Structure 1
Amino acid sequence: MSNQIAITEVAEGFRFALTETFEAVRGMYLDKGTSLFETLAGISAEQASMPVSDSCATIAAQVAHVGFYLDVMHESLVTRTYVQGSDWEHIWKTISTVDEVQWQAIVSDLRKSYDQTVADLNQHAAWTDEHELSCMLGSLVHTAYHLGEIRQALCFIRYQQAQQG
């Protein structure tokens, strides 16, 4: 007797977790109002441009990086190989200070990348092996990590702003 979980159930689990991580808390692991897009809605371009130390990326760079990662995972799903040669350092080296238009563009680009991830998840009936599961799991845990980084940075930035009056 096999105890395998149907791919539709696996996909639904990913959908639940992705929705909580990106859009709206559903009681899985985040506190109310702390999903990625809910968090980003309360961040100004000024805050997104403030590094928390000399060796840390800005929130703007963190958000752009999450979108880049989702795009790489999409390409990996399309090509059926893990993408090699992506310039992971480019965002960290080029994105720091942003104005309001640039900040909104970064958030909008992330939304497009997330929407593509959801579309990829909706193709679960065509999944054939662990590659698809790995890409979805990677997208989820990588984003959750950076959501934590973003929320910690925002906490520190707001503290600094309050101290400066």
Structure 2
Amino acid sequence: MNNPMLEAVKTLLKETFEGPEENASWYTEAKPGSGLFGTLKQLSSEEASISIYGTSIAAQTDHTRYYLWVANSYLQGDVPEKDWEASWKITSVDKITWKQYNDELQQEYQTLFKTIDSLDSLDEQTFNGILGAIAHSAYHLGSIRQMSKAIKVPSQT
């Protein structure tokens, strides 16, 4: 479907996850790597496991993945059974699990992008779901970026 609103949605979704293009931004920091994937790539599993105000970057990451999975399910006509609390129970990850969380987040993002491309009609609920995916993911991007600043503070020696 060639729809200007959907093209704008894809631009913002791409900026949220992949970062802005060529030092231009609609709302994120206009630097390479400032999207969710670039931000997460800079973090080790140990850093992703640090608890900050009762949660970790690993939990924020998996929650974002889970939200996208739910959104994808609804957009594809399924009504999944949901357990929103499950992702927040994550306290720490090892290197393998951290990579898995990042890979699964990328897969859900790619699925959402393909689903948007395949839409042949838009009703209000579908549009709300897509816009909600952007807003929710952008919220967690901001949280993760602030948390990563807190754990990477240079020592004051």
Q: Same fold (TM over 0.5)?
A: yes
The structure number with the bigger radius of gyration is 1
Structure 1 stretches of at least 4 aligned residues deviating more than 6 Å after TM superposition: none
Q: Which runs of 5+ in 2 are unaligned?
A: none
Match in the other structure for 2:106: 111
**Aligned partners of 2:138 and 2:122: how far apart in 1?**
26
Matching residue within 11, 31, 56 for 1:58? 56
The structure where helix makes up a greater share of residues is 1
Identity %: 35
Q: What TM-score results when the alignment is normalised by the length of structure 1?
A: 0.86
How many pairs were matched up? 152
Task: Decide whether the 8 Å contact of 2:70 with 2:80 is kept in 1.
Answer: no
Match in the other structure for 2:49: 49
CA deviations on 1:96-120 (whole Å, 9 max, x unpaired) are 1111111000000000000001011
Q: Which shifted more, 62-71 or 84-93?
A: 84-93
Match in the other structure for 1:143: 137
Q: Per-residue deviation at 1:28?
A: 0.9
Task: Decide whether the 8 Å contact of 1:77 with 1:131 is kept in 2.
Answer: no
Matching residue within 88, 100, 105 for 1:92? 88
Task: Decide whether the 8 Å contact of 2:46 with 2:94 is kept in 1.
Answer: yes
Q: Which runs of 5+ in 1 are unaligned?
A: 1-5
Residue identity opposite 1:38 in structure 2 = G
Coordinate RMSD, CA, aligned: 1.8
Q: Per-residue deviation at 1:163?
A: 2.4
**Aligned partners of 1:100 and 1:69: how far apart in 2?**
23
**Aligned partners of 1:84 and 1:116: how far apart in 2?**
16
Match in the other structure for 1:77: 75
- The SS at the match of 1:163 is coil
**Aligned partners of 1:64 and 1:142: how far apart in 2?**
13
- The SS at the match of 2:3 is helix
Match in the other structure for 1:23: 18
Matching residue within 93, 96, 101 for 1:101? 96
Q: What TM-score results when the alignment is normalised by the length of structure 2?
A: 0.90
